[in-house]
């Protein structure tokens, strides 16, 4: 069909020709001249996107009704819809924008357009608007109250911006409104009572803001509601009883508020309910049995509340075929896991962690053919782990009393990728069928009673491993040389076993290694300087083994953050340039490691549970990722001068050189380690004075200079004055200790230290490295205290940084 060049014609002729065409043939959209001009000017309000090969505002065709995103009314030719979704406008909507001359606009969709600045109140001039979608931009400022002029609005989505201020009271005037989506902004204040007027509302999403006050009682009057999402605000008080009247709801999310109330006794009235998430509040009372009578349920999250009592899924014959995610974690449930769990035929993820469940895993769990992720950690479960569970991909059973597992069922494929059996009572040798598990990536068997040798056949499956944690068992024999294909391995922790022999050379192939800990075994050999070529090695712990020989080949180790070589038999001197290549100790740069950045982002979602578990050492989890740097070579036979090059390790928090045979002066340059918190130079042959400059180390909170040949005045500084007296004992001529040791207790420098005092003074040091590193293996593997990072649907559910707030309907 030929399109006339309306460009030069007057509005009248366009209208006339349009009329002709509507009579003669299918409608031809002809752009009205004022509308075209308004659109052309609107285009010019934004820069041309140089990166876009076809930028929207460069296209010139004569008929604006054919421009991308523009829809005209068939009859009048007026522009009635503008949809520029996901166009990079990269600018702001001006108060006098020509957009507001498109007076016939009904739909305005500028989602994902990189809009900045405020929403101009002139938006209220487009009085015919029924739909406004400005979501997923960078809009700031308040929601203009002029929006209440738009009496025909049925759909408003301003979600995923940075809007602040309160929700305008006048929004209650929009009595045609079906959708009100303001989620993922920074809105404050209470939910305005005027919303009680919006009797046609279907969808109310205010989650991820800073709203305070209560869930308003009027909400029970909005009986058309299908979606209520108020999660991640600061709402408190109880949920109004009238909520139970909202029987059309299919999506309820109240997660992460401060709500405390019981749930309605009978929830079966929510007969369309699919998504129910009240996680991370203070809900009380017994297990909401009635919820599990609703066949449409897909997601149930009750985690992190104060529900009590036993659980029971009502043993009716009806199954809940849609339930995919069930999380009862972090409550106070107790008693057995009921066999009726098998009603949820298509359950994909089950989390019962951090409760007091007892008894065994019910056999009926084998009927859950789609179960994929299971977390039963931190309960009091016992007995045998059913063989049917080997077809799951992720299983976390840590901190229970399980004692054995069945063989995989030969008729079923073994799909396990992540297996955490930490802190149970598993015993005996590791069965050889473990070597046949094809996809295993994360294996934590620590704190059990496993013994026997580590099977060399693991070399078959090691190719997929990211984490192998066998800490604190009784494995014996050699650490087998199985790592030549372990290029994904990030953490290897075999600490506290009875392993012998040398460190396997094949570790050199593990280019992804972040952590190696072989602490407290009987491993021997020279310092494994060859590990220095591993580009990402962050943590190396060789503590308490039989390593020997000099430490002079410490080149490489560019990413090293924590090294603990203590309590071995290393000897010789430290070379002047010994530490010059350890760049990981001279900078704190997380951005180099996108993987770590991921984990850090993720961990912010878990701050609560981390603090819960770490207890006394609350900061250590974050420290190991971010700033903890430590060198411990105590308890060896190193002699000679403390090399000046140590002061290159500017980020060092902990330095322990105690229990060696260092001689000569303490280098003044140690004072360049301005972040040092812990310094132990005790039990050496150091002489001369304690450098006065060390008094300026303002973070230094623990130090120990005892058992040396030091003399002269102890530095005067707050840090020194707050040390215990024993930190200076047994030196040949230290003075100025009156304030530290008390007038009456001035040290006799020749007195012998009590053995228990020595042990006591060593303790804070050891705790620090152990605490910081204990969470290391998991951290480096993506296990964040009980929750395994990969596979979980949970992350998909709430972990997205900006919740996508879109809707299919209008
Ligand atoms: C937005 O415009 C600014 C200049 O005004 C430019 O520096 C920036 O790269 C643009 N951003 C995008 C995403 O186009
Ligand atoms: C919007 O309407 C107000 C009056 O309600 C008027 O003063 C203003 O100029 C209008 N803005 C635009 C851009 O048309
Ligand atoms: C809109 O206002 C700005 C100043 O705020 C002015 O520079 C611009 O020319 C105005 N545009 C129109 C179309 O009136
Ligand atoms: C806006 O446009 C995007 C892309 O077409 C679409 O996904 C979204 O649903 C639209 N918004 C509304 C309210 O229709
Ligand atoms: C709510 O509705 C009532 C009656 O329909 C009306 O008088 C009142 O002004 C409305 N309130 C708001 C905030 O819109
Ligand atoms: C609910 O609606 C009824 C009838 O319109 C009204 O009387 C009542 O005050 C409303 N309740 C709340 C809490 O707004
Ligand atoms: C809710 O929080 C506010 C302020 O934080 C407080 O004043 C109010 O008493 C709390 N209400 C309830 C029911 O806890
Ligand atoms: C629920 O609605 C019924 C009528 O629809 C009404 O009688 C009752 O008071 C409402 N209950 C609550 C708690 O609002
Ligand atoms: C739990 O809710 C509180 C309060 O909204 C929030 O600060 C915290 O981050 C939430 N924790 C998790 C794990 O979602
Ligand atoms: C589990 O039970 C013990 C003792 O019965 C109690 O001290 C503890 O608080 C309970 N833990 C939970 C999470 O309910
Ligand atoms: C490593 O993998 C290669 C092929 O991928 C294989 O030929 C070799 O046997 C493997 N080595 C070990 C020690 O398993
Ligand atoms: C220690 O720091 C001072 C000043 O920051 C600098 O002049 C000196 O060279 C440093 N010492 C060493 C050994 O790097």
**Where are the chain's structural domains?**
1-188
Strand partners, 501: 523
Strand partners, 157: 133, 181
Token pair in block for residue 297: 């349920």
pLDDT, residue 768, reads 54
pLDDT band at 583 (very low <50, low <70, confident <90, very high): confident
Give the predicted TM-score (pTM) of the model.
Answer: 0.83
- CA angle in degrees (0–180, nearest 5) for 695-559-491: 115
Q: Which atom of ligand 4 is nearest to the CA of 806?
A: 9
pLDDT 10s digits, 210-243: 999 999 999 999 999 999 999 999 999 999 999 9
Mean pLDDT, rounded, for 698-709: 90
Helices (H) and strands (E) in the chain, counts: 10, 50
Among residues of the chain, what percentage have pLDDT more than 90?
A: 55
Query: Which residue's CA lies nearest to atom 11 of ligand 3?
Result: 96
Residue 538 CA, ligand 10 centroid: distance in Å: 37
Residue 149 CA, ligand 5 centroid: distance in Å: 14
For ligand 1, whether the C-beta of 87 sits within 6 Å is: no
Q: Which atom of ligand 8 is nearest to the CA of 244?
A: 13
Separation between Cα atoms, residue 799 and residue 797, nearest integer Å:
6
Q: Which atom of ligand 10 is nearest to the CA of 308?
A: 14
Q: Are 94 and 120 in contact (CB under 8 A)?
A: yes
Coil vs helix vs strand at 428: strand
Among residues of the chain, what percentage have pLDDT more than 70?
A: 81
Residue 809 CA, ligand 4 centroid: distance in Å: 9
Separation between Cα atoms, residue 767 and residue 753, nearest integer Å:
22
Question: What DSSP string describes 36-85?
Answer: HHHHHHHHHTS---TT-SS-GGG---S-GGGSTTEEE-TTT--EEEEE-T
For ligand 3, whether the C-beta of 94 sits within 6 Å is: yes
Lowest pLDDT segment from 53-57, 201-205, 414-418, 644-648:
53-57
Residue 599 CA, ligand 9 centroid: distance in Å: 17
Give the distance, in angstroms, between the CA of residue 372 and the centroid of all CA atoms in the same chain: 21
Token pair in block for residue 363: 């056999």
The fold of the 1-188 domain, in CATH, is: 3.80.10
Q: Is the dihedral of CA 121, 125, 131, 133 positive or negative?
A: negative
Q: Which ligand is nearest to the CA of 245?
A: 8
pLDDT 10s digits, 99-130: 999 999 999 999 999 999 999 999 999 999 99
Indicate whether 191 pLDDT > 50.
yes
Q: Are 141 and 150 in contact (CB under 8 A)?
A: no
Strand partners, 393: none
pLDDT 10s digits, 521-568: 999 999 999 999 998 888 888 999 999 999 876 678 888 888 889 999
Q: To test ligand 5's pocket by mutation, which of 172, 175, 177 has the most ligand atoms within 8 angstroms of CB?
A: 172
Query: Which residue's CA lies nearest to atom 1 of ligand 8?
Result: 245
- Residue with the two structure tokens 């360049």: 672
Separation between Cα atoms, residue 367 and residue 494, nearest integer Å:
36
Strands 258-259 and 709-713: what pairing?
A: unpaired
Q: Which ligand is nearest to the CA of 243?
A: 8
Whole-number mean pLDDT of the chain?
Answer: 83
Lowest pLDDT segment from 42-51, 549-558, 622-631:
622-631
pLDDT 10s digits, 306-318: 999 999 987 666 7
Q: Which atom of ligand 5 is nearest to the CA of 169?
A: 13
Residue 221 CA, ligand 5 centroid: distance in Å: 14
pLDDT, residue 21, reads 38
Query: Which residue's CA lies nearest to atom 10 of ligand 9?
Result: 256
3-state helix, strand, coil in the chain (%, to 5): 25, 20, 50
Indicate whether 23 pLDDT > 50.
no
For ligand 5, whether the C-beta of 172 sits within 6 Å is: yes
pLDDT, residue 736, reads 83
């Amino acid at each position: 069909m030929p399109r006339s060049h309306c460009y030069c014609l007057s509005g009248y002729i366009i209208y006339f020709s349009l009329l002709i065409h509507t009579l003669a043939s299918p409608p031809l959209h002809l752009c009205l001249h004022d509308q075209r001009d308004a659109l052309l000017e609107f285009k010019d309000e934004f820069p041309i996107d140089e990166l876009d090969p076809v930028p929207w505002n460069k296209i010139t065709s004569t008929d604006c009704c054919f421009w991308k995103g523009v829809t005209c009314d068939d009859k009048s030719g007026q522009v009635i819809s503008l949809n520029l979704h996901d166009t990079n406008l990269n600018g702001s909507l001006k108060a006098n924008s020509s957009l507001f001359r498109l007076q016939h606009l009904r739909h305005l969709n500028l989602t994902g357009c990189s809009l900045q600045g405020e929403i101009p109140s002139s938006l209220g001039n487009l009085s015919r608007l029924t739909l406004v979608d400005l979501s997923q931009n960078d809009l700031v400022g308040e929601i203009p109250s002029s929006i209440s002029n738009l009496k025909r609005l049925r759909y408003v989505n301003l979600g995923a911006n940075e809007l602040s201020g309160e929700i305008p009271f006048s929004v209650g005037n929009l009595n045609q409104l079906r959708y009100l989506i303001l989620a993922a902004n920074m809105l404050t204040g209470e939910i305005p009572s005027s919303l009680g007027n919006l009797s046609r509302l279907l969808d109310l999403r205010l989650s991820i803001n800073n709203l305070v006050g209560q869930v308003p009682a009027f909400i029970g009057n909005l009986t058309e509601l299908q979606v209520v999402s108020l999660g991640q605000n600061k709402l408190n008080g109880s949920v109004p009883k009238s909520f139970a009247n909202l029987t059309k709801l299919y999506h309820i999310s109240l997660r992460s508020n401060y709500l405390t109330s019981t749930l309605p006794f009978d929830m079966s009235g929510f007969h369309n309910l699919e998504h129910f998430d009240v996680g991370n509040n203070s809900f009380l009372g017994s297990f909401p049995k009635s919820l599990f009578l609703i066949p449409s349920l897909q997601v149930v999250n009750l985690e992190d509340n104060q529900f009590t009592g036993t659980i029971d899924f009502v043993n009716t014959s009806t199954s809940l075929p849609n339930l995919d995610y069930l999380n009862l974690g972090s409550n106070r449930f107790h008693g057995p896991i009921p066999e009726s769990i098998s009603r949820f035929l298509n359950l994909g993820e089950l989390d019962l962690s951090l409760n007091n469940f007892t008894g065994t895993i019910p056999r009926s769990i084998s009927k859950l053919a789609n179960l994929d992720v299971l977390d039963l950690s931190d309960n009091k479960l016992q007995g045998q782990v059913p063989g049917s569970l080997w077809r799951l991909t992720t299983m976390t059973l840590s901190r229970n009393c399980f004692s054995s597992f069945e063989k995989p069922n030969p008729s079923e494929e073994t799909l396990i990728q992540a297996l955490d059996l930490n802190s149970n009572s598993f015993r005996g040798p590791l069965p050889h069928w473990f070597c046949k598990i094809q996809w295993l990536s994360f294996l934590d068997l620590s704190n059990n009673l496993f013994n026997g040798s580590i099977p060399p056949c693991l070399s078959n499956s090691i190719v997929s491993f990211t984490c192998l944690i066998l800490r604190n068992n009784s494995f014996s024999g050699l650490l087998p040389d199985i790592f030549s294909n372990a290029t994904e391995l990030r953490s290897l922790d075999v600490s506290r076993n009875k392993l012998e022999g040398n460190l396997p050379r094949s570790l050199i192939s593990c280019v992804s290694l972040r952590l190696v800990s072989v602490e407290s075994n009987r491993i021997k050999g020279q310092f494994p300087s060859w590990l220095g070529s591993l580009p990402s090695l962050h943590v190396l712990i060789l503590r308490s083994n039989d390593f020997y020989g000099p430490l002079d080949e410490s080149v490489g180790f560019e990413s090293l953050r924590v090294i603990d070589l203590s309590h071995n038999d290393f000897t010789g001197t430290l070379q002047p340039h010994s530490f010059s290549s350890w760049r990981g100790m001279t900078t704190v740069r997380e951005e180099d490691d996108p993987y770590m950045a991921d984990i850090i982002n993720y961990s912010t979602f878990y701050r609560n549970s981390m603090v819960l578990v770490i207890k006394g050492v609350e900061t250590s989890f974050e420290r190991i990722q971010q700033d903890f740097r430590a060198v411990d070579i105590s308890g060896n036979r190193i002699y000679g001068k403390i090399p000046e090059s140590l002061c290159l390790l500017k980020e060092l928090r902990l330095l322990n050189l105690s229990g060696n045979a260092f001689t000569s002066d303490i280098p003044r340059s140690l004072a360049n380690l301005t972040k040092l918190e812990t310094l132990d130079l005790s039990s050496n042959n150091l002489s001369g004075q304690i450098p006065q400059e060390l008094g300026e180390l303002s973070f230094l909170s623990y130090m120990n200079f005892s058992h040396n040949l030091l003399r002269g005045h102890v530095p005067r500084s707050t840090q020194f004055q707050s040390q215990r007296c024993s930190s200076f004992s047994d030196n040949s001529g230290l003075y100025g200790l009156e304030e530290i040791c008390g007038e009456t207790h001035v040290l006799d420098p020749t007195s012998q230290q009590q053995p228990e005092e020595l042990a006591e003074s060593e303790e804070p040091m050891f705790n620090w490295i152990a605490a910081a590193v204990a969470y290391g293996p998991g951290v480096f593997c993506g296990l964040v205290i009980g929750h395994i990072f990969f596979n979980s649907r949970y992350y998909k559910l709430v972990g997205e940084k900006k919740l996508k707030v879109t809707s299919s309907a209008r």
